[in-house]
């Protein structure tokens, strides 16, 4: 870590306390750590604790990347096919429009499943049952609809294939001690708090996403807590393979499939699990190449990887602490500053 990354550091120091209470930034280049720094505290009141580089954050929708990786591993292990109807996994879909849905469609967000649901409509319902019974919003394969419900379904696919819980599959497959659903009670205060949502109060150490919360805290679309190093580790599985560094969890063929365009969208094209840079308005900013892939999370998390530069940037924050305003500009400025430092 010989470079100072002064522009990155200045950007995040200025944002701390207004855009988020706490953050960890991590930058890797050519498979090596170049910058990692923690900022701020877990919350903005008397109960605040300092944030460290190994602090765990609510990953929000970055959970989808881990779920997708598990699903692609199941494909590689011949447990399931990317392009077969999922009615064998979901008998509930037989004879319905859902029967045309494949795993590829769920991972690429063009299954036609609804984006989500207001949690207030789910308080007295089984969320998994709702997910697989909810009418489609489009024909399977017709268009991209970014869908939490689709990834809840992916989590259900994995549980039915493996015959155990998604939390257990994550623990056994990834074996990262600080990557998990359901943080223990004794560590919750060390996790940056998220929103005061008017329902649960100030959320800290529990998943922010309401649907995942109603599912007990573990779901295919949200619920994982992890360090910036854990997110970078996952991104390196894909970026490293594209740059000739192998990894036992994923084959080269599956990595190429996951990071190529599967479904076109004018705002954000879709790979398998991964979003693909579509224009300079995306949260990776102007400097990342068109081959770049990444993802964001609602609470203020993001990761972007650029195979052309062999660069990945992880930024974990709790920006939703201060409200639901879009932090695209901060994320883009972070990625652009990282590129400028390495130029």
Does residue 20 surpass a pLDDT of 80? yes
CA–CA separation, 179 and 195 (whole Å): 21
On the question of pLDDT at 323 being above 50, the answer is yes
Measured CA to CA, the distance from residue 76 to residue 253 in angstroms comes to 9
Angular region, 77: left φ>0, alpha ψ -120 to 50, beta rest: alpha
d(CA 21, CA 185) in angstroms, rounded, equals 21
Query: ∠ CA(218), CA(327), CA(220), 5° rounding?
Result: 15
Averaged confidence pLDDT in the chain: 96
CB 272 within 8 A of CB 72: yes
Question: How would residue 1 be classed by pLDDT, with cut points 50, 70 and 90?
Answer: very low
Burial 186-199 (b: 16+ CB within 10 A, else e): eeeebbbbbbeeee
Distance separating alpha carbons of residues 9 and 231, to the nearest angstrom: 20
- What pairs with residue 29 in β-bridges? 32, 311
Say if residue 270's pLDDT is above 50.
yes
CA distances from 340 to 9, 336, 343 (A): 13, 6, 5
Indicate the pTM of the whole model. 0.97
CA torsion angle for 208, 210, 212, 214 (degrees, to 10)? 130
DSSP letter string over 12-63? HHHHBTTTBSEEEEEEEETTEEEEEEEEEBS-SSTT--B--TT--EE-GGGH
* Reported confidence tier of residue 3, pLDDT bands at 50, 70, 90: low
Which residues are registered as beta bridge partners of 306? 311
CA 313-308-37 angle, 5° bins:
15
What are the tens digits of pLDDT across the range 50-81? Answer: 999 999 999 999 999 999 999 999 999 999 99
Average pLDDT over residues 87-104: 98
**HSE (CB half, 13 Å, CA atoms) of 236?**
19
Over residues 266-282, the mean pLDDT reads 98
Q: What's the pLDDT score for residue 54?
A: 98
């Amino acid at each position: 870590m010989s470079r100072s990354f002064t522009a990155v550091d200045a950007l995040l120091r200025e944002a701390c306390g207004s855009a988020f209470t706490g953050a960890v930034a991590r930058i890797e280049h050519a498979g090596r750590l170049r910058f990692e720094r923690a900022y701020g505290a877990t919350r903005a009141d008397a109960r605040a604790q300092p944030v460290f580089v190994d602090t765990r954050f609510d990953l929000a929708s970055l959970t989808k990347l881990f779920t997708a990786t598990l699903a692609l591993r199941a494909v590689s292990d011949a447990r399931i096919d990317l392009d077969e109807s999922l009615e064998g996994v979901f008998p509930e879909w037989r004879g319905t429009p859902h029967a045309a849905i494949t795993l590829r469609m769920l991972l690429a967000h063009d299954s036609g499943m609804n984006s989500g649901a207001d949690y207030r409509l789910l308080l007295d319902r089984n969320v998994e049952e709702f997910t697989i019974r909810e009418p489609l919003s489009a024909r399977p394969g017709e268009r991209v609809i970014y869908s939490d419900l689709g990834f809840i379904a992916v989590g259900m696919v994995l549980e039915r294939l493996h015959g155990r819980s998604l939390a257990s599959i994550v623990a056994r497959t990834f074996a990262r001690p600080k990557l998990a659903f359901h943080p223990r009670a004794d560590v919750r205060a060390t996790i940056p708090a998220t929103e005061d949502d008017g329902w649960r109060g100030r959320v800290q150490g529990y998943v922010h996403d309401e649907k995942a919360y109603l599912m007990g805290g573990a779901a295919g679309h949200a619920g994982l807590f992890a360090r910036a190093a854990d997110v970078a580790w996952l991104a390196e599985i894909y970026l490293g393979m594209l740059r000739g560094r192998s990894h036992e969890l994923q084959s080269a063929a599956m990595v190429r499939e996951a990071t190529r365009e599967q479904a076109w969208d004018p705002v954000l094209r879709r790979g398998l699990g991964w979003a693909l840079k579509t224009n300079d308005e995306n949260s990776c900013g102007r400097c990342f190449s068109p081959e770049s892939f990444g993802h964001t999370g609602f609470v203020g998390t993001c990761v972007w990887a650029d195979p052309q530069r062999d660069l990945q940037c992880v930024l974990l924050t709790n920006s939703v602490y201060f409200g639901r305003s879009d932090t695209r500009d901060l994320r883009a400025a972070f990625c652009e500053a990282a590129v400028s430092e390495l130029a």
